[in-house]
Amino acid sequence: MRSIPLLNVDATDVFDEIAAAKNQPRRSLMQAARVEILAAYQGYEDMAPEVGELDKAPLTDQQKDAMRHAYSVETEPMTTLRRKLLNRISVARCPFCGISETSTLDHYLPKERHPEFSIFPKNLVPSCAVCNTRKRDRILDAGTNTRMFLHPCYDPIPDTAFLIVGVRMEENALILSYRLTRPAGMTLQTFQHLRSHFNELNLADRYRRMGLEHLGGQYFALRRAYGPGEDANRVAEKLVEGAENFEEVYGLNFWLAKLYRALAENNDFCEGGFEMVRVQNAAY
């Protein structure tokens, strides 16, 4: 979960270029819908991030199909847009989860329901395949009628601590458990939105698994910090340093920063308990 910048591109130009590159009859269908599409773009910008209840644009079924086709059957300008959206280093890591590499574009408002936003750059969010698949075509929670997912380009990510990781040492196993907490001052609505995003993308389990995988790669660094003098304080210092580095770049609630902080505070882990994260090659 983190914010990413909008791509600096003119949405009207993108629409006109893609429409001009389509074959007939789709070119004319798109051009005939131009006024409605641009009005819908304006509505999106006016309401963002609260775009969950935007009215559908009044398009004919053929125009809707042409808009979806403009995204899914790529022309050169659409390919250029995709490349520009995905190639930025600032979005190389998925903003929905903060774990994986971005490889797809997620339609924040799904193109099945809102074909008018099929090629709207502000609705196309770089995403990893896991998040994109889990998000599917959902927008609003049926029970609360609030948006289920954060919009990485518009929703501010709170800068107070809301992610917690519990660390427990059991016999030969390190047990991690991620959960959310509502800090003082955070509105219930903001917290519910974060929690929905966190739960629906299965982040607790994904952070737990990837956290253990990541620690396997840190084993030798921890071992060196411990050293022959078995210095648990040095291990804790190393972990805090690592947490600070992550926080500088990804913010206070970055899942690995939280993990490093929690481990630094766990004396058993620093006092040689990190042996548990050593990867046994045969079992890897």
* Positions in the binding site for Zn ion (CB under 5 A): 94, 96-97, 128, 131
CB of 106 vs Zn ion, minimal distance in Å? 9
Stretch (H or E) spanning 175: strand 173-180
Residue owning tokens 């040689």:
272
Of 138 and 234, the one with the shorter C-beta distance to Zn ion is: 138
CB of 255 vs Zn ion, minimal distance in Å? 11
Q: Which two tokens stand for residue 101?
A: 């590499």
CB of 91 vs Zn ion, minimal distance in Å? 11
CB of 98 vs Zn ion, minimal distance in Å? 7
By C-alpha distance, which of 68, 66, 15 is closest to 38?
15
Of 66 and 125, the one with the shorter C-beta distance to Zn ion is: 125
CB of 53 vs Zn ion, minimal distance in Å? 25
Of 210 and 243, the one with the shorter C-beta distance to Zn ion is: 210
Of 96 and 246, the one with the shorter C-beta distance to Zn ion is: 96
First-to-last C-alpha distance (Å) of the chain: 28
Of 163 and 235, the one with the shorter C-beta distance to Zn ion is: 163
- Which one-letter DSSP state was computed for residue 6? P
φ, ψ for residue 169 (rounded to 5)? -105, 120
Work out whether the CA dihedral 220, 258, 196, 95 comes out positive or negative: negative
Rounded CA-CA distance 228/223 in Å is 9
